[in-house]
Structure 1
């Protein structure tokens, strides 16, 4: 069973969480690579035999009950040359070893490693007892090795199991059973196990050991492109981008210096570059987008010079786009992303189908533009979404927006703070709900979606937005009670609603904020840990009080609510007032009570701390402000 570098990368990288909260920008790549792996494995199984064999399976015909072998029959079986038995089986259209390996391969792909090894051991015992005409070979062992390497079960340590089986193969080989001698597929599978289990250094050491075997004359055990890509994936998964790049450079050096002696030539390919691009994209390291851009540019240069192995594809471009999407500190990030998108569109128009942008690509651009400081960034992101929808409805299936696409546009509106943002966000939310209720449950909004809509309502400050945000919270609670766990309310949601009230023009907003925190405390005390108020919760309540307006009665009530929130912070063991807390508290004192009352409060009438309850409750740096 041959493991492709594609399969390694698909398993190691593309099942992990992707860029900026995306499930993964490379889901379609993982599917494509898995398909390639299946084809390669089937071809390798058949190619390991001398004759073209029928695909007939033992279960195609009913089995005959043979019972126990008589002593005379056993003696005849022992005297019968195994080669003839296998030849007879082949002549009848069925090779027992091929049948075994097909079964092992099936179990391996089904993630049933223990069952695969049980079958392997059973056949070995049957062979030794004369009940089976052939002994399992290294293809058989490699199937079981692969089952352990690729399986994510916590029942066993896959690295230990793979090392144990490798040791067994080496022992049997030393005893003269050359058919089970470890080969390059064996070693690559062990390398994969190290890589998958976050042991890149061990994978790298195995690669070095394989290189030493090659230099010592064992040419068939030298590392190949698959080996290098496995270790590159291991380092990428471990967020060691520089080590991965160093291996890529080593591959390119070996490729340049290759004298033609290597049977399996080592070539830096698109998969290796894409793996590193993805690693930079998810790294959140300052400067990562520029490094990803440099790698993409290098790929383009090599390809234009005639190197077909490193042709940039949609995954190369999308990974680089995603890297720029995370560079919120760079004012040029959105423009860079749009440049890449336009390059892809031009390449696609010229016939390069590998470069055609898909929904993931456009979503990455929306994410990047939405997070930028560009004027009207949210509207630009919205226009990209509308263009996607139009082209999808016209037949471009790859451009169908998904939940992440819509959520990214809503998030863009939330970040904009524009007056129209709340209304637009609610429109998109309603559209997503309509889609979900029309038979497309994949578009159903989740907690994060609602949070973005509530934030958009709060930041746009339009009259009635806070009440709309509160209503969305009520809707979430009702849906959650009916069993929709995707929209479970939590502390972040409550904080967003309280913040919406604090920023609203509603006179009694402090009362609404207090009601929400009271509800959170009640639910938390009843055992709902997702409702636990945090420092942001109480700061938002203080802010709601500090920004209250109206007659003195309203202001006095708002001040009491703000002071009560501060006292709750003081009485909560795992909470500590921060600079924001004190700043908002001073704002409340300054805006809500008279100067005489301010002096009384600051003199220690019981609101400013625990014991002693006086001005000393403030940090030293705030005393000058408090005395003004």
Structure 2
């Protein structure tokens, strides 16, 4: 055999083949004669040696290696050339070619002739899963291999040299399994089933070199079904194997594990129950002598993962105990608990948000024989972070440091560990922002202070040579996020300056970094700083604002406007009119940006901005623009914008509700009612999903109740009757609630209408007679009734108050002391007292 690495040059060898094909195809006899004149010349390396080395280079991702399609074409052309040359050489031999030369030619021809192994090299290269930079998608590579095997089976009928073996079938089946679960397709399992059936038929027909499909083939099929989520097929096939319904195939550990893994992928309660049953069945079969059903630690881990997704810690712990007991009894290395199974238990505690038990388990269950790894501690850190307890997370991180320093732990904290702790401080900052006293966040335990100290500690360790904890982009962004949620935009900007000033820093500001900075400005209502940062970001050629950038900057204006509205001293930097012009310009910039498209948050920010300025009319224009875009896209036949690049965003019910509620303080109930009619029209005539519900009607009722118009009671009650009619006809989403009735009662009270007391009496009685727990009068109802009497011009208010007391007694309602006092005030009027 010729030495591969020292002798064979793949590229030159393949090029030589193509050159010989090109030269020889024009005049084969001349080519043969030219070769015969050099009987001592060294023959080229055998074709399979060249193809073997090419496969290695191709899988190794050598940029100069040819793709399988070109190599196949070269091999096919060479095969045809050799066949033509053999035919011509026979003619040439008859003309008197020396016998020595004939032997030389025959030797070269045999060593260069493509055979089954030649095509196997091409099949294996095309389907190699490690080939990451393949110019075509993996599915196309599998289809190429599939078609090649089909062709070889057809060619093998006339050429016994290229008859495929069972290995070729196995390679193609594995390739299909590797690309399973693409686009929710069942193509992979269908193809694998076809090849298994084809192999079985050919083997029965007596094709040489073919063996009947064994358990390896069936496990590949099971794996494809698992990826496609077809658990039923796996269950049925596995039971057939157990019952010997598939000739010559018995399930092994891989077969059972595939089904267990499929159950863990689903993660439902039924899947967990089925996984329990299957593992029990495996244990019973193994104990009865079926060695192929022997479970291993992976089997137990898969079942435990099913229960992790259900948050069932007790079942997870129960299976761990069972595994530990089996290992103690058998000392079987396949059943020895490993760090993965213990980490699965830790995941259960994280899922159940029980960091205390996770930490206790970490300290008690791991041993010197099975020590915890970095993931073990990171899971505990994650559990503390999810609970929003960064101080315990930081203490656990210090514990990890100490154990590593003392040689107890082999793995030390990395940047992932630190980032998890920092994330916990970000969550704490978000949770405490609303209740943080002004000026009380500068102590050493303040989240932003702790985050900044941790960042400095990471930088110090990195400077001393520990690259594993060097702050990365995520680290900086999290710390800036902590500052943002703490309202410390000034500290966040200092961090940004440090990033920008660090020469050769790996933490060059990304779009996420800029977004974190804008978020800090938004939380601090610091519009002046946000404007300055936005201008700087526009100058940064390495980033382009995404929709998060635009939305966050837009919300900076919203927050500043809200601060101005409430009379707080915000850091605006521009006048109210300039803010409006700036927002309009920003909206135009979003619309003109070809890379981004406005989303629901964009429209919500616009609506919030105009509402904060007591201008719901402008907010309505935003809704109208959204409606127009959807209508225009519908006419084009696709729900995309005019450039056909981004999907349009239809207005939803919540956006309408927000604008409707904005009319409440302006005492314009007809505006809110008009929006209600618009929603109904868009739902019925144009297909928008905007059907009004009880919340929609309740907002309109609130508008009428607070408008204090003389007709507000009548109008509110008419809307209530409309809700009842729609509910009776089948629209349960508009069924009136106690809130609906109370708002109608309040509308009557505020109307000062002469009939208000009488109408209120009737409504209360109606609510009681309905005997509906959802609309039975409550404290608000009775308080509003008393309010109506008190505000009325009724000359017999004491009698009305007594009627209220009687109704409470009939209703078996116990009034509060405050309500009793209001009733007593009305009763005193009978004695002429106040």
TM-score (norm 1): 0.65
Are 1:530 and 2:645 counterparts?
Answer: no
| CA spacing shift, 1:308–1:319, aligned 2, 3 Å | closer
Aligned to 1:479: 682
Shift of 1:537: 0.9
Which of 302, 309, 323 is the equivalent residue of 1:196? 309
Shift of 1:296: 6.2
| CA spacing shift, 1:170–1:361, aligned 2, 3 Å | farther
Asked if the contact 1:403–1:443 (Cα under 8 Å) also holds between the matched residues in 2, the reply is yes
Are 1:493 and 2:689 counterparts?
Answer: no
Aligned to 2:798: 599
Aligned to 1:451: 657
Asked if the contact 2:708–2:750 (Cα under 8 Å) also holds between the matched residues in 1, the reply is no
Asked if the contact 1:363–1:404 (Cα under 8 Å) also holds between the matched residues in 2, the reply is no
Shift of 1:143: 1.3
Aligned residues: 524
Aligned to 1:32: none
Aligned to 2:253: 138
Are 1:566 and 2:671 counterparts?
Answer: no
Shift of 1:192: 1.8
Distance in structure 1 (CA, Å) of the matches to 2:254 and 2:260: 10
Aligned to 1:588: 788
Shift of 1:139: 1.9
Distance in structure 2 (CA, Å) of the matches to 1:362 and 1:580: 44
Shift of 1:115: 0.9
| CA spacing shift, 1:127–1:534, aligned 2, 3 Å | closer
Kindly report which structure 2 residues correspond to 1:11-410, keeping only aligned pairs within 5 A, or say none: 55-57=171-173, 59=191, 64=198, 96-124=214-242, 129-130=247-248, 132=249, 135-151=250-266, 157-211=270-324, 217-218=331-332, 220-224=334-338, 226-237=340-351, 240-241=352-353, 243-251=354-362, 259=368, 261-262=369-370, 265=373, 267-268=375-376, 270=378, 273-274=381-382, 277-278=385-386, 280=387, 289=388, 291=389, 293-294=390-391, 307-308=413-414, 310-311=416-417, 330-331=435-436, 339-340=483-484, 346=495, 351=506, 356=512, 376=562, 402-403=599-600, 407=604
Shift of 1:264: 8.2
Report the more deviating stretch, 107-116 or 332-341.
332-341
Could you report, residue by residue, the CA deviation over 1:570-625 in whole angstroms, capped at 9, with x for unpaired residues? 2231233222222222222222325x242342244xx7754988999966653331
Distance in structure 2 (CA, Å) of the matches to 1:272 and 1:212: 25
Shift of 1:230: 3.8
Report the more deviating stretch, 179-188 or 608-617.
608-617
Shift of 1:543: 1.6
Distance in structure 2 (CA, Å) of the matches to 1:583 and 1:617: 12
Shift of 1:517: 0.7
Shift of 1:444: 2.6
Shift of 1:567: 3.0
Distance in structure 2 (CA, Å) of the matches to 1:388 and 1:316: 36
Could you report, residue by residue, the CA deviation over 1:202-253 in whole angstroms, capped at 9, with x for unpaired residues? 112223444555667455545455444544444455xx42x34421453367
Could you report, residue by residue, the CA deviation over 1:258-284 in whole angstroms, capped at 9, with x for unpaired residues? 64x438847325455446644x3xxxx
Shift of 1:492: 1.8
Q: Which runs of 5+ in 1 are unaligned?
A: 1-38, 40-50, 78-84, 281-288, 550-554
Aligned to 2:75: none
SS at match of 2:659: helix
CA RMSD of aligned residues (A): 5.4
| CA spacing shift, 1:68–1:191, aligned 2, 3 Å | same
Distance in structure 1 (CA, Å) of the matches to 2:591 and 2:246: 64
Could you report, residue by residue, the CA deviation over 1:294-319 in whole angstroms, capped at 9, with x for unpaired residues? 36656887899961274455x98778
Distance in structure 2 (CA, Å) of the matches to 1:247 and 1:268: 10
| CA spacing shift, 1:318–1:272, aligned 2, 3 Å | same
Are 1:626 and 2:823 counterparts?
Answer: yes
Asked if the contact 2:304–2:344 (Cα under 8 Å) also holds between the matched residues in 1, the reply is yes
SS at match of 1:205: helix
SS at match of 1:556: coil
Distance in structure 2 (CA, Å) of the matches to 1:215 and 1:358: 56
| CA spacing shift, 1:528–1:407, aligned 2, 3 Å | same
Report the more deviating stretch, 580-589 or 380-389.
380-389
Distance in structure 2 (CA, Å) of the matches to 1:497 and 1:191: 52
Distance in structure 1 (CA, Å) of the matches to 2:598 and 2:518: 9
Shift of 1:488: 2.9
Asked if the contact 1:562–1:585 (Cα under 8 Å) also holds between the matched residues in 2, the reply is yes
| CA spacing shift, 1:391–1:180, aligned 2, 3 Å | farther
Distance in structure 1 (CA, Å) of the matches to 2:233 and 2:284: 22
Distance in structure 1 (CA, Å) of the matches to 2:393 and 2:622: 35
Asked if the contact 1:213–1:219 (Cα under 8 Å) also holds between the matched residues in 2, the reply is no
Asked if the contact 2:346–2:362 (Cα under 8 Å) also holds between the matched residues in 1, the reply is no
Shift of 1:387: 12
Shift of 1:420: 2.0
Shift of 1:499: 0.8
Shift of 1:368: 12
Distance in structure 2 (CA, Å) of the matches to 1:516 and 1:208: 63
| CA spacing shift, 1:378–1:493, aligned 2, 3 Å | farther
Shift of 1:366: 7.8
| CA spacing shift, 1:177–1:610, aligned 2, 3 Å | same
Distance in structure 1 (CA, Å) of the matches to 2:599 and 2:437: 27
| CA spacing shift, 1:187–1:222, aligned 2, 3 Å | same
| CA spacing shift, 1:103–1:616, aligned 2, 3 Å | closer
| CA spacing shift, 1:234–1:456, aligned 2, 3 Å | farther
Are 1:511 and 2:705 counterparts?
Answer: no
Shift of 1:166: 0.8
SS at match of 2:376: coil
Could you report, residue by residue, the CA deviation over 1:447-467 in whole angstroms, capped at 9, with x for unpaired residues? 333333333332xx1253x22
Distance in structure 1 (CA, Å) of the matches to 2:584 and 2:327: 56
Distance in structure 2 (CA, Å) of the matches to 1:330 and 1:449: 28
Distance in structure 2 (CA, Å) of the matches to 1:540 and 1:197: 43
Shift of 1:495: 1.1
Asked if the contact 2:627–2:651 (Cα under 8 Å) also holds between the matched residues in 1, the reply is yes
SS at match of 1:503: helix
Distance in structure 2 (CA, Å) of the matches to 1:386 and 1:273: 45
Aligned to 2:34: none
Could you report, residue by residue, the CA deviation over 1:17-58 in whole angstroms, capped at 9, with x for unpaired residues? xxxxxxxxxxxxxxxxxxxxxx9xxxxxxxxxxx99964118
SS at match of 1:577: coil
